[in-house]
């Protein structure tokens, strides 16, 4: 395990119960909540100045929160989702009703949580104020005397032109500066000075001094500096809100797995369509092929296979017969089932997963950005230097306008032009660079902290593996050639959409084998299929077929089947003329080639690799040994995946979880960094902090490399920004005045702008970072 001395463990379970240590996903949410608590505690009826803008988006029409109440639940395609039914004739399809109320029925109070984490209102507010302020700033800068002197031009003069700069500056200060002043008030009341107080201090001093300079001789207003300062701060915070905005749709996506209605069997044996919410224990429901199971239960009648991959992570469909348990949200495939309900509502497995997701989302802890801490320090430094400057100059020259000019210069230079952009610029470029490399960043804090990962836990099915069956071996008997057995098998499976059929067809295509022509196809439920090829009968099926036909396996076939079975792989037999086994095929979930590269690269970075799977111990061990995984957890239930992440965290490890299924959602949100595979289920994507668009495990390595590079840029920018202040503040205070070097407020403002340019150029270099894997 790698130790990271610069990393602070962010998880704090006390945040779930202690409102004073509550969790907030951005600075504005935190300040709003703190302000709301103070209002409640003081029973005040007066709203803070920013409440109408930030906390009541509905009144301003800025909220664009989207919920599942209007979403449509796409109907399942029974052909695409069917099991190994080989039904060449159409079966009845079951269309789901529109999912008009699914989110409300299944998620309960999730709306509040979604509203809390939707930053669109914040982003839109900063964006709108930035553009309005920027447009108004153009004439302010153009008519500024200092700018005219610097660039050697004369602005046109007309009646009232002298008031353009001060009047528009007042408008910009009142409109663009209000958000910072409002949030600075919250920081002041919390006694936690930070970026907002530092910004507000500078713009207020600049504003007051510039207004006063209109009436005081010997002073030079710098309205241009005031407006550009506000513009840059608005731009920085717009970019920050854009980078942190994330939809919190995990619970809504989980709810969509549940059908809205069910076919309840009446006492007369007929069925009636009822809302799922009306089901109760011991009710019997009919689940047709392609339909979702409405509640946890037990099969009372019928045989079928059920796709449980969204819940268990198991890639193979699961056969169901009377007495078998079924889980709400799973999809019936090739046969009708009558299910006796055993659990409903909040008692179902899916509801339990939803609770785990909600708990894990709430357990994310507060992270203080380096820029905030630097701003807090700089605030005290600025006040201290300003006070020392005032005292020193009063002692030296007495009370006059030059003392005021020195103090103003100190306070304006202390304003974090560069500091305010140091982190947001890097975050914005980081997000863009990540997207260009197939990574979508939904949580900037998780992206920043990826540099500290010492353990990466992968889900097996669909992440390290393709999540689909593939032919991994074949053994022929007697004179049968491999080409001939694939010709026959591919021909028999030509029209089936079952995963085993697809695997055989793909293996035949890889070998450039033509499919044989077949006739008299017949599906043998529970056994396999039968067809006629060149006038001879052939069967294709599993061990049950061999037992049913009473065929003895040749020694080489038996040995192959035993080895395949020991690796927890599926064995399918090709039988000729009901008496001779022609071949045996070994099928398994195919491991991605990229998985080997990713794990090797992670090990090269000193990062441990773990694996979670709902598959058997044999399957997990085989995959783990083949990929060189450090540790694995097999036969893991959905709730156990969550606890396995916690287990590693309790050992002091900083854990990333990489997964693609519904059962991965709690683990994704519980992990320090949740990484969702882009081609996975919507709920996994909504639960992840980072999305891998290309479904490539190697992108996990690129993610960590980009995180490390981004953090370096943040540190460099903070050094540039704060270093400038450390250098410029003494000059502004007049430390070199005895030798004739005195920094005026206007020149100080120019230097401050130059530091911003340096920070911006340095941030842009992040786009050129090399994310390629070492050879």
Show which residues are catalytic.
Answer: 459
**CA nearest neighbour of 415 among 452, 382, 371:** 382
Helix (H, G, I), strand (E, B) or coil at 596: helix
CA distances from 363 to 392, 642, 646, 672 (A): 51, 12, 12, 10
Structure-block tokens of residue 695: 């479904």
Question: How far is the C-alpha of 501 from the C-alpha of 499, rounded, in Å?
Answer: 5
Whether the CB-CB separation of 551 and 477 falls below 8 Å is answered with no
Burial of 193 (0-12, 13-18, 19+ CB in 10 A): buried
Whether the CB-CB separation of 473 and 556 falls below 8 Å is answered with no
Q: Within 13 A of 330's CA, how many CA atoms are on the CB side?
A: 31
CA distances from 429 to 302, 340, 771 (A): 57, 55, 14
Strands 304-307 and 455-459: unpaired
Whether the CB-CB separation of 351 and 665 falls below 8 Å is answered with no
CA distances from 591 to 154, 627, 734 (A): 71, 9, 68
Question: How far is the C-alpha of 383 from the C-alpha of 414, rounded, in Å?
Answer: 9
Whether the CB-CB separation of 680 and 692 falls below 8 Å is answered with no
Whether the CB-CB separation of 100 and 255 falls below 8 Å is answered with no
Question: How far is the C-alpha of 718 from the C-alpha of 723, rounded, in Å?
Answer: 8
State residue 474 phi and psi, 5-degree precision: -145, 140
Q: Reduced to 3 DSSP states, what percent helix, strand and coil does the chain have, rounded to the nearest 5?
A: 55, 15, 30
Burial of 584 (0-12, 13-18, 19+ CB in 10 A): buried
Tally of CB atoms within 10 A around 514: 12
Q: Give residue 135's Cα distance to chain centre.
A: 35
Question: How far is the C-alpha of 226 from the C-alpha of 746, rounded, in Å?
Answer: 11
Token pair 């008009």 is at which residue?
Answer: 100
**CA nearest neighbour of 631 among 616, 620, 643:** 620
Question: How far is the C-alpha of 235 from the C-alpha of 126, rounded, in Å?
Answer: 7
State residue 439 phi and psi, 5-degree precision: -125, 125
**CA nearest neighbour of 370 among 441, 423, 416:** 423
Question: How far is the C-alpha of 634 from the C-alpha of 649, rounded, in Å?
Answer: 18
Helix (H, G, I), strand (E, B) or coil at 484: helix
Question: How far is the C-alpha of 605 from the C-alpha of 599, rounded, in Å?
Answer: 10
CA distances from 269 to 254, 263, 265, 300 (A): 32, 11, 6, 13
Structure-block tokens of residue 707: 């995180």
Q: Give residue 245's Cα distance to chain centre.
A: 10
Tally of CB atoms within 10 A around 620: 22
Question: How far is the C-alpha of 456 from the C-alpha of 29, rounded, in Å?
Answer: 30
Question: How far is the C-alpha of 515 from the C-alpha of 527, rounded, in Å?
Answer: 22
Token pair 């300040």 is at which residue?
Answer: 31
Whether the CB-CB separation of 640 and 612 falls below 8 Å is answered with no
Helix locations, 10-70, DSSP H: 27-42, 57-60
């Amino acid at each position: 395990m790698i130790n990271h001395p610069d990393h602070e463990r962010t998880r704090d379970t006390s945040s779930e119960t202690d409102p004073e240590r509550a969790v907030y996903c951005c600075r504005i949410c935190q300040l709003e909540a703190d302000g709301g608590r103070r209002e409640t505690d003081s029973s005040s009826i007066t709203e803070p100045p920013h409440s109408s803008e930030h906390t009541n988006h509905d009144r301003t029409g800025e909220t664009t929160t989207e919920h599942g109440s209007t979403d449509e639940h796409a109907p399942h395609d029974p052909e695409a989702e069917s099991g190994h039914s080989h039904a060449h004739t159409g079966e009845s399809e079951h269309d789901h009703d529109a999912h008009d109320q699914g989110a409300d029925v299944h998620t309960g109070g999730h709306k509040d949580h979604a509203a809390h984490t939707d930053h669109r209102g914040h982003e839109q507010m900063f964006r709108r104020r930035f553009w309005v302020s920027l447009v108004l700033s153009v004439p302010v800068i153009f008519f500024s005397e200092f700018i005219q002197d610097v660039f050697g031009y004369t602005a046109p003069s007309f009646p009232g032109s002298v008031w353009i700069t001060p009047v528009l500056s007042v408008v910009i200060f009142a409109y663009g500066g209000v958000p910072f002043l409002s949030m600075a008030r919250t920081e002041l009341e919390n006694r936690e000075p930070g970026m907002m107080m530092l910004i507000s201090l500078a713009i207020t001093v600049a504003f007051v001094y510039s207004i006063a300079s209109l009436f005081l001789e010997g002073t030079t207003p710098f309205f241009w500096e005031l407006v550009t300062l506000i513009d840059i701060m608005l731009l920085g915070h717009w970019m920050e809100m854009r980078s942190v905005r994330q939809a919190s749709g995990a619970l809504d996506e989980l709810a969509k797995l549940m059908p809205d209605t069910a076919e309840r069997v009446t006492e007369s044996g007929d069925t009636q369509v009822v809302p799922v919410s009306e089901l109760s224990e011991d009710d019997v429901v009919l689940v047709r092929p392609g339909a979702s199971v409405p509640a946890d239960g037990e099969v009372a009648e019928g045989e079928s296979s059920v796709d449980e991959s969204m819940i268990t992570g198991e890639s193979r469909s699961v056969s169901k017969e009377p007495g078998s348990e079924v889980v709400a949200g799973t999809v019936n495939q090739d046969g009708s089932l009558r299910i006796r309900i055993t659990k409903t509502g909040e008692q179902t497995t899916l509801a339990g997963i939803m609770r785990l997701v909600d708990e894990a989302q709430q357990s994310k802890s507060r992270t203080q950005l380096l820029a905030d801490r630097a701003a807090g320090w700089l605030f005290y430094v600025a006040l201290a230097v300003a006070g020392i400057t005032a005292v020193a100059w009063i002692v030296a020259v007495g009370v006059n306008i030059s003392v005021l000019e020195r103090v103003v210069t100190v306070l304006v230079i202390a304003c974090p032009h560069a500091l305010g952009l140091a982190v947001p610029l890097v975050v914005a470029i980081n997000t863009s660079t990540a997207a260009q490399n197939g990574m979508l960043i939904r949580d900037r804090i998780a992206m920043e902290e990826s540099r500290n990962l010492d353990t990466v836990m992968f889900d097996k099915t669909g992440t390290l593996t393709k999540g689909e069956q593939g032919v991994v071996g074949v053994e022929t008997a007697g004179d049968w050639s491999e080409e001939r057995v694939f010709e026959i098998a591919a021909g028999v499976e030509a029209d089936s959409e079952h995963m085993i059929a697809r695997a055989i067809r793909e293996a035949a295509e890889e070998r450039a084998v033509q499919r044989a022509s077949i006739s008299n196809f017949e599906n043998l439920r529970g056994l396999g299929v039968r067809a006629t090829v060149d006038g001879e009968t052939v069967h294709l099926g599993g061990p049950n077929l061999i037992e049913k036909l009473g065929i003895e396996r040749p020694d080489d076939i038996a040995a192959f089947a035993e080895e395949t079975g020991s690796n927890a792989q599926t064995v399918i037999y090709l039988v000729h003329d009901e008496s001779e086994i022609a071949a045996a095929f070994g099928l398994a979930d195919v491991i991605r080639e990229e998985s080997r590269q990713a794990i090797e690269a992670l090990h090269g970075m000193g990062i441990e690799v773990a694996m979670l799977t709902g598959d058997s111990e044999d399957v997990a061990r085989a995959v783990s040994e083949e990929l060189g995984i450090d540790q694995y957890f097999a036969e893991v239930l959905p709730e156990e995946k969550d606890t396995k992440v916690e287990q590693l965290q309790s050992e002091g490890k900083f854990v990333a979880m990489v997964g693609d299924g519904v059962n991965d959602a709690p683990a994704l949100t519980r992990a320090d960094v949740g990484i969702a595979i882009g081609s996975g289920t919507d709920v996994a994507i909504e639960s992840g902090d980072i999305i891998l668009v290309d479904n490539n495990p190697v992108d996990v390595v690129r993610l960590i490399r980009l995180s490390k590079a981004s953090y370096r840029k943040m540190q460099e920018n903070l050094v540039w920004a704060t270093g400038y202040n450390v250098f410029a503040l003494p000059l502004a205070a007049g430390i070199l005045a005895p030798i004739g070097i005195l920094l005026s407020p206007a020149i100080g403002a120019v230097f401050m702008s130059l530091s911003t340019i340096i920070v911006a150029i340095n941030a842009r270099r992040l786009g050129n970072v090399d994310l390629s894997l070492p050879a």
